[in-house]
Structure 1
Amino acid sequence: MSESTPTLPRAASASYSVPGMAADDGARVAEILQGRLYALTDLHLTLKHVHWNVVGPHFIAVHEMLDPQVDAVREFADQVAERIATLGGSPVGVPGALVKGRSWDDYSLGRAGAIEHLGALDLVYSGVISDHRTVAGEVGDLDPVTEDLLTSQSGQLELFHWFARAHLENAGGELSTAGATSEREAATQAEAGAGESV
């Protein structure tokens, strides 16, 4: 008896799209947006994970700062999923597809200090925002409505990123996470930077 690997749902495309857009173009934009749906779903779960696992003297400030971000990013994921459906696609939001479709690993910190988490989130936000901007540029010629959606979301994500970075910046405008290439490295640098500024 052999075990079969479960088949994950795939984004399906309809034979239509929004008025004024060819079905093939709608399907292409929907396919591109699926990656953004994975990223935003992962981000809102990561932010909630940090909310639950942050400790230390800055606990309450970071704990309370993150819940509105979780809610906003969850709404962004919903907007992207609904845009996929509007374009004639079928958004995929199940965990197995997210894990299979993403190009990054799970968030690497568990219970840790607020500054460590904010250091790691600096890299997380940087990645999500960079990819959002890239995708907005890619879809601009095909679908300015989707470009506007992603541009609007990018502005809000950049604001949330600034909230995290404000804890990591010294008076000279230098980030304690500068040059970090992993979440753990950023967390370590942020913690060391906090110790130096005390």
Structure 2
Amino acid sequence: MNTQQLAASVVQGVSPGHASTPVGLLQGRLHALNDLYLTLKHAHWNLVGPNFIAVHELLDAQADAVRVMTDDVAERIATLGGVAQGTAGALVAERAWDDYGIGRADTSIHLSALDASYTRVIEGTREAVTVSGVNEPATEDLLIGQLRGLEKSQWLVRAHLATGADRPAGSTAAKSGG
């Protein structure tokens, strides 16, 4: 990141040299979130089978939440004086992960793959929180809030994948057989 690009719009109290690190972290998060948004919509359009409507609607709501996150990240990049690279070409050129490879498939297949996608995004967000907390508390705060939302979404995905065997011993559902 060229610090001359940052100098014109850096927020009060953040030097261009300090802004380049959070801008770089945020750009990585923007790519990950844009990819997650597209993946959620792809799964939403292509899943079939048990609990179709519940999962279809769940993924639509999750995609909407991730879209808001992408906007917040892109605007934070701009606030810090960076240029948010939101094009598909930039995402593909800079990502370190493979494309989502599932087409039309059962809800459980998509949910399992989405669980792995959430894990990747959450791990990257946790790393970015750790680094941004050193010099840029506003970016850290944004990412922590997004981390909570991503973890909740993953929990909902995992709850759909859970079976009776996943219930804790002694739970009411396990005792009653349902």
TM-score bracket, normalised by the shorter chain, equals 0.7 to 0.9
**Cα pair 2:6 2:19 within 8 Å, conserved:** no
- Structure with greater helix share of residues: 2
Are the equivalent residues in 2 in contact too, given 1:30–1:84 (CA < 8 A)? Answer: yes
Structure 1, residues 102-148: CA drift from partner, whole Å, max 9, x if none?
00011011000001100111111011011101111111011011001
Q: Is the 8 A contact 1:12 1:89 kept in 2?
A: no
2:166 aligned partner: 173
**2:154 alignment partner AA:** H
Tell me the equivalent position of 2:30.
37
How far apart are residue 12 of structure 1 and its match? 7.8
- 2:103 counterpart residue number: 110
Cα separation, partners in 2 of 1:163 and 1:92, compared to 1, 3 Å: same
Distance 1:11 1:112, change over 3 A: farther
2:129 corresponding residue in structure 1:
136
Please tell me whether the aligned partners of residues 11 and 90 of structure 1 are also in contact (alpha carbons under 8 angstroms).
Answer: no
> Aligned AA for 1:42?
D
Are 1:119 and 2:120 counterparts? no
Post-superposition Cα deviations, 1:84-108, rounded to whole Å, max 9, x if no partner, equal 0000111111111100010001101
Q: 2:3 touches 2:17 (CA, 8 Å); kept in 1?
A: no
Deviation per CA, 1:172-191: give whole Å up to 9, x if none.
538xxxxxxxxxxxxxxxxx
Question: How far, CA to CA, are the matches of 1:28 and 1:39 in structure 2?
Answer: 17
Match of 1:191 in 2: none
Structure 1 letter corresponding to 2:75 = E
* One-letter amino acid of the structure 1 residue matched with residue 55 of structure 2: V
**Secondary structure in 2 matching 1:19:** coil
Structure 1 position 94 matched with structure 2 position 87: yes
Cα distance, 1:112–1:82 mapped onto 2, change above 3 Å: same
CA contact (8 A) 1:11 1:92 kept: no
Aligned counterpart for 2:45 among listed residues 47, 52, 58 = 52
Q: What residue number does 2:66 align with? A: 73
> Does the 8 Å contact 1:133/1:154 carry over to 2?
yes
For the pair 1:149 / 2:152, whether they are aligned, the reply is no
Q: C-alpha separation between the residues in 2 aligned to 1:134 and 1:75? A: 21
Unaligned runs of 5+ in 1: 1-9, 175-198
1:14 maps to 2:6:
yes
Which residue in 2 is equivalent to 1:84? 77
Q: Give the count of matched residue pairs.
A: 165
Structure 2: gaps of 5 or more residues: 168-178
Checking the alignment, whether the CA contact within 8 Å between 1:11 and 1:31 is kept in structure 2 is: no
